Structure 1
Amino acid sequence: MDVASTALAASSSSPPSSSTEPWKYDVFLSFRGIDTRQNFTDHLYWTLKDNGVNAYIDEKDLRRGENIPDELKHAIERSRISVIVFSKGYADSTWCLEELEKIMECRRARLGQMVLPVFYDVDPTHVRKQTGSFAQAFRRHEERFREDKDKVQRWRYAFTEAANLAGANLRNTDGYEGKFIRKIVDHITRKLNNTCLDVATNQIGIESRVREVSNYLNVGGSDDVRIIGIWGMVGLGKTVVAKAIFNKFHQRFEGKSFLSKVREGDMVKLQNQLLCDILKPAKKKVRSIAEGTKEIKKRLSSIRALVIIDDVDCHKKLDELAIKRDSFGPGSRIVITTTNAHFLRILEVDDTYFPPAMSNEEALQLLCCRAFTERHPSDEEYLELSRKVVEYCGGLPLALEVLGSSLCKRTKREWRSALRKLKRKPHGEIHEKLKISYDGLIDDEVQAIFLDICCFFIGMNKDHVTAILDGCDFDTLLGIGELHDRCLVSVDEGNNLMMHDLLRDMGREIIREKSPGIRGKRSRLWDPEDVTDVLITNSGTERIEGVTLDLQGSHEPSFSAEALKNMQGLRLLKLKGVKFTGDCKHLSKRLRWLCWPGFPPEAIPEDFNQPNIVDIDLSHSCIQVWKDSDMPLEKLKFLNLGYCDRLKQSPDFSKLPNLEKLILQGCNSLSEIHHSILQLKTLRYLCLADCNLTDEAIPEDLGDLTSLEELDLRGNLFNGLPNLSRLSRLQSLQLTNCANLRVIPDLPTNLEILQADECIALEEMPNFSRMLCMRELHLNRSPKLTEIPGLDKSLNSMTRVHMEWCINLTADFKDAIIQGWSACRNGCLFLPTNDFPSWLRSVDTKGEILGCAPKFSVLNEKL
């Protein structure tokens, strides 16, 4: 940074605190007319004007009197920058000295004025000490104002104070005035652009978020051009964080630009703004997007700049703004805020920051600042009402600010009324702002997927939902990917689809708005009151694509199955605790998802022909026999008949050829599993837990199910198992509480989890020396087990081994296992404590031995 920049930086201060008047002028020029009016100062003035700087210059050639008029005082007070042109005759003019005194007085009064001394062919030391040509001038003033020595002393002090500011010195440019003026104007225009962006002073939690983004930016840490994305849903505070980042760092860059609302902006105007913000000197404006892109690449590639692109929604706009690393000079930093992560990946940003939702405490403070102008209301009832609003907002700053402002100065009764209304209908302003992301989905199919998730699938497994909606002829994986990129859905650690409550309400309101008065004409029904009304009045139409109703625990009357007759567009049906009279022969043939736990057996039609069905859940029903369709249900992938405890025989699986997931848990009246199950070559998950199955009930060729990944056989009565070693994709086998099981035969070597707790008759295990993928082994309470051959060879992959209460394990086996475990240090080993090796307590000090129960201890290496 050269002296001019240093001067401006050193002399800057906060915006006016003692006056609410806005700045009227950008620059006030203080100069000695005889010395510089017709040359240097005139050139400086017009160059400033050409660059769009509103400069004030005293147009009169000669002023009479000793005191400057109020007109000049006001001009000084209302100018952001005062430029003092120190020429050889500057101190000869009492007028100039009065101006200088007023300028420095404003600076000291912290009115926000910046001061730039310009040393025009004079030595700054002579100005500072009033020597050289200035000494004689001050001697004359002291003689003239002999009776007012304080005046001259104030002038001397102002001279010294101004000269102590780093300034611009003509002699440092070898006397070339044009070059000198250009440098002064360039720094003035840059400084005028240093105004901090408007960020509310009571923003809660902003500092921690800015700190995290600052770590990504690493300003000054390298000369690389770094591009950082700030990605999150509408209303999460991305723009506020970006503004705070700009305010914190903009003075450390040669050029800077904050482009707001790029999503809705005119691209040519934005290109001109970017060029103007960074270059400042007057230039011909670009007239087309192509010209602007070319000009940005050409003119900005050598400038170290901070550029913030706020609220951009597509990669094309970034291309048009030439947002690439080679478009800006070394050390530049580019920050992009967006609700769309897809183009951040295309751009290959260096890091992406996802602002977290506000904590409950932060949210409460922000709401209260808007509603009560304080962080916590003193009234306990208002505080409790505020907490309910915070709960509704889910940590979203947009909602907190909008509702806080709308509830300001409202009575408690009005607060309670507003909360009741929010349960029925989202706040209009919040809805419209959140809807921007939905409107950005140009694909009708992706919009439909979003609305389906809003109403039916929040909290469900992503892969399961994908299969159901694929059956609706959607490209679901691509659609969910776009929704995730646009922050309309998220996927949790368990691979379940999640969504912010306000986004859910926004989606549901979109549906309601299309038919506000006629419920039966809405595409999806989820509200119990709406569904009940449609079923009672039989007012459903073919426009209805999905229905969900949960009446468990209520005493609602039963409905006629005829109410479903007119819903021939129905794709998704989820009912719980709902009673119908008559059979469901009128169910739509477009049905893909039937989730009806407790399905009344009398409602099953004789010919359950649903050619498009993908998922059937009739768990907890009283059905005794599965009625096979005349036509195969070729699209059916998921069948859940769990806890149908009257079911006597399983379906004929040859009619369900593409089944991927089968649940028969708790069907304890089953005598056997139909042998056609072996034809299910796509079956990945099979649950036969708690079915009281004996050896004869399980097909001997179960190992033919080569696609099986999870097999759950808990709580059954068999003594042994068929050979499972051919199940090459099996990852998890559950045998817990199989009390009669004596032998576990060979297992597939790719198995990762074996759960066989409470197998009290278990005596023999297979050889584990080749079980190199095993992560978890659960054999708690197997008292007859003495050893597991080869287990010490497979410990490297394991994170947990549970063998508590296996009280007959041999000493040699335990010794080998403990030594092997202490060497691999992978996780937790649970063993009975009797006959523990004496050396155990001298294992590596990073390990721990914990007495977790009277009969076992743990060798624990923390991960």
Structure 2
Amino acid sequence: MLTLLGVNEKYEVEELNHEESLQLFSWHAFRMTNPVEEYLKLSTDVVGYVGGLPLALEVLGSSLLRRSIIEWKSTLEKLQKVPDKQIQGKLRISFDSLDVTEKDIFLDIACFFIGTDKEYVNRVLDGCCFFPDIGLSILIQRSLLTVNERNELRMHDLIRDMGREIVREESPNDLGERNRLWFHEDVLNVLRKHTGTKAVQGLVLNLPTLEDVHLETEAFREMKNLRLLQIDGVYLKGCYELLPKELKWLCWHKCPLQFLPPNFQLESLAVLDMQHSHVKQVWREIKIFNKLKFLNMSNSINLTKSPNLLGVPLLEIMILEGCTSLTEIHESIGHLKSLVLLNLKGCKNLRHLPISISNSKSLETLNLSGCSKLTMLPEDLGYMMALRELRADKTAIKRLPSSFGLLTNLQTLTLSGCKGKASESWISRLLSGILPSSNPTNLLPASISGLCSLRELDLSDCNLREDGIPIDFGSLSSLEELDLSSNSFLKLPTCMSRLPKLAKLRLNDCKSLQSIAELPTSVTELKAARCTSLERVSNLFNVKRWSSISLSECNKLVEIQGLEKLQFAITHTDEGYNVSYFFSKNIFQVSSLFFFFFPFLLTI
């Protein structure tokens, strides 16, 4: 109705806080504002279970009126296993109005995916052909589901319990006939007794302790319709052909296998998640996974090389973060036409990328941070036209390829700590008789000026001097954030003043920096703390609007040009204290004493 009326803003009614919940509950349970003293702890427990939902507070409060403490305790224990029917009946109205696919999505999330990243779940559900984009949107619209600031799926505890009760009611006594199993004791019961049936669609075994669990593949023989399976830390023995062929999601963290068995038939798999596994090689020969879109082998420290991907044509995301033994990326990666994200963060033994990766026309995010032995990027990297984000912090890259400027869609580039040859110790250079040049790395090629979409650039701790910045660096017309901290500048390159959109400039710990001049008028934030050689800052008054300036611990600072025109005004608003800057004349009496306190004042 609001959409039809063209309403632009909507107010989301929040749950009651603890004090409000306790008061509402007390009115119904005791006919007074606060609980009776001896019932206070139990009342707090009930309120904690309900979670601020007025309907549930009223129903439960009324049902506990004039009940004994023993009855209260019994009710609370029962609620944690079997939700109150009166509450569930009213909450279920929203569920009953969903179509079949939307109900499946709701029950999958209620049983398995609360607290999980939305995009991850989206790929799992998409593999099940559940049309998750519209399905999740409808659940959110009907307040059955929320997404928090970390993009995690959340659900009110009572709504979650409603979903799980719907599953339980389908087969109250026979666990193997339920379509979803999530409680570890129930799951172990079914798997150890081999009582699972074709009714089971999803099964998650996530033990609360670190005990080793040994199970037989025979337990899955009758689960013909199993599509979702999580068996973290489980040792499986037997014939792997008995595992369901219709699996869409396999999550097997801490898998004890060294490689996937050749008779493990996973042709329908959409998501394979094997983090922290013992795998040395995912599969030995080419495997056909025509539906696999997501592969996560993070922190599998025995993995030495990535798999041959010729049989995985639809792969979109591959995460190998923290695979510290990884030395090789299979050249087949260049043949993937759907790959959008490759995460190799922390693969500290990876020495090079295959040349074929330059053929990737779909890759948008490439994370190489912490690949400390990686010395160079493929020369034709610039032909990866879809690349939007490249993170190569703490690598040994000495120079970006000359084709780099062709990456016209690149928005984020981080090269923090890329010192190249400069990372050699000063002792080794001294012994070899080599004096440091003005810029031994030449990290940035002249072609970098072609990065017309670049918004964020991190060149901190790269041993750069002013002649290490290309003359036409100022043509980066979209650059908004620039980090040059911990470099060896004596002064800033003059080309920086031509950056038309630069808003945030960081120069922290530039120990050799003597002056800051000719800042772009677009700058709103300047961080130059601990620049121990800094003496002068010029033209502050040329900047149109300041939001933050930090010059703390700049002990040699003697002049700030335009300071006499800069006034601080602190005003109080409904949201707190706001610091504003005004331009006028003779606001401060400039003295050496003031400069002593000035960095502190700017920081606060």
> Retained in 2: the 8 A contact 1:769–1:791?
yes
5 Å-filtered alignment, 1:9-20, equals none
Matches of 2:309 and 2:525, distance apart in 1: 42
Correspondent of 1:667 among 323, 336, 361: 323
CA distance in 1, matches of 2:12, 2:547: 37
Percent identity over the alignment? Answer: 36
Aligned partner of 1:576 in structure 2 is 232
Work out which of the residue numbers 479, 484, 489 in structure 2 matches 1:808: 489
What is residue 369 of structure 2 aligned with on the other side? Answer: 714
Check the 8 A contact 2:286/2:308 in 1, yes or no: no
| 1:607 positional shift | 2.5
CA distance 1:751–1:688, shift in 2 (3 Å): same
Letter in 2 for 1:728: M
Q: Counterpart of 2:182?
A: 526
Which residue does the alignment assign to 2:337? 681
Distance 1:536 1:579, change over 3 A: same
**For 1:421-476, what per-residue CA distance to the aligned partner results, in whole angstroms no more than 9, with x for missing partners?**
222121211111110100111x2121111111111222333333233222223222
User: Corresponding residue for 2:598?
Assistant: none
Aligned equivalent of 2:137:
481
Shift of residue 713 of structure 1? 0.6
Following TM superposition, by how much is the alpha carbon of 1:555 offset from its aligned partner in structure 2, in angstroms? 2.7
8 Å contact kept, 1:811–1:835: no
Residue in 1 that maps onto 2:15: 357
Contact 1:841–1:849 at 8 Å: present in 2 too? no
CA contact (8 A) 1:543 1:569 kept: yes
TM-score by length of 1: 0.55
The equivalences for 1:251-270 within 5 A come to none
Deviation at 1:846, TM superposition (A): 3.5
The answer to whether residue 507 in structure 2 is matched with residue 849 in structure 1 is no
Amino acid at match of 1:415: W
Q: What is the distance in 1 between the residues matched to 2:64 and 2:539?
A: 66
- Where does 1:818-857 land on structure 2 (aligned, <5 Å)? 823-827=521-525, 829=527, 833=531, 834-835=533-534, 837-839=536-538, 842=541, 846-851=546-551
- 1:497-536 to structure 2, matched below 5 A, reads 497-536=153-192
Q: What are the equivalent positions in structure 2 for 1:377-776 lying under 5 Å apart?
A: 377=35, 379=37, 382-441=39-98, 443-551=99-207, 553-555=209-211, 557-601=213-257, 604-627=260-283, 632-695=288-351, 697-716=352-371, 717-722=373-378, 723-738=380-395, 740-745=396-401, 746-747=404-405, 748-761=407-420, 763-766=442-445, 768-776=448-456
Task: Return the offset for 1:791.
Answer: 4.7
Distance 1:809 1:595 in 2: 53
Map 1:229-268 → 2, pairs under 5 A: none
Aligned mates of 2:227, 2:384 — CA distance in 1: 35
Pairing of 1:71-150 with structure 2 (within 5 A): none
Deviation at 1:359, TM superposition (A): 2.3
User: Aligned pair in 2 of structure 1 residues 827, 791: CA closer, same or farther (>3 Å)?
Assistant: farther
Counterpart residue identity of residue 764, structure 1: L
The letter of the residue matching 1:730 is L
* 2:258/2:278 contact within 8 Å kept: no
Between structure 1 and structure 2, the one with the greater Rg is 1
* Aligned residue type for 2:306: S
Residue correspondences, number: 515
Q: Distance in 1 between matches of 2:168 and 2:108?
A: 14
Secondary structure of 2:361's aligned partner: coil
What SS does the aligned partner of 1:362 have?
A: helix
Contact (CA 8 Å) 1:573, 1:593: kept in 2 or not? yes
The alignment partner of 1:655 has SS state of: coil
CA distance in 1, matches of 2:197, 2:221: 9
Match of 1:214 in 2: none
Give the distance between the partners of 1:638 and 1:393, measured in 2 at CA.
37
Q: Which amino acid aligns with 1:699?
A: P
Residues in 2 aligned to 1:624 and 1:844: alpha-carbon distance in whole angstroms: 57
**How many angstroms apart in 1 are the aligned matches of 2:298 and 2:328?**
15
Deviations 1:100-143 (A, max 9, x none): xxxxxxxxxxxxxxxxxxxxxxxxxxxxxxxxxxxxxxxxxxxx
Within 5 Å, which residues of 2 pair with 1:318-337? Answer: none
- Cα deviation digits, residues 342-378 of structure 1 (max 9, x gap): x542454465332122223322322233223343336
Q: Residues 366-414 of structure 1: CA distance to partner in whole angstroms, max 9, x if unpaired?
A: 22332233433362x6333333322222221111222222233334443
Amino acid at match of 1:759: C
Runs of 5+ in structure 1 lacking a partner? 1-342
Change (3 A) 1:457 1:830: farther
Q: Is the 8 Å Cα contact of residues 803 and 832 (structure 1) preserved in structure 2? A: no
* RMSD over aligned Cα atoms: 3.1
* SS of equivalent residue, structure 1 residue 540: coil
- Report deviation, 1:548: 0.7
8 Å CA contact 2:331, 2:356 repeated in 1:
no
Secondary structure (helix, strand or coil) at the match of 2:250 reads strand
* Alpha-carbon distance in structure 1 between the residues aligned to 2:182 and 2:518: 56
1:483, 1:489 within 8 Å by CA — same for their partners in 2? yes
Shift in Å at residue 522 of structure 1?
Answer: 0.3
Contact between 1:360 and 1:390, CA under 8 Å: does it hold in 2?
A: yes
Matching residue's letter, 1:542: K
Tell me how far apart the structure 2 counterparts of residues 736 and 558 of structure 1 sit (CA, whole Å). Answer: 41
Cα distance change on mapping 1:546 and 1:729 into 2, 3 Å: same
Give me the whole-angstrom Cα distance separating, in 2, the residues matched to 1:367 and 1:416: 16
- Give SS of 2:242's match: coil
Q: Which has the higher helix share?
A: 1
If the length of structure 2 is used for normalisation, what is the TM-score? 0.77
Cα-to-partner distance string for 1:741-772 (whole Å, 9 max, x where unaligned): 22233252322222332334365224554434
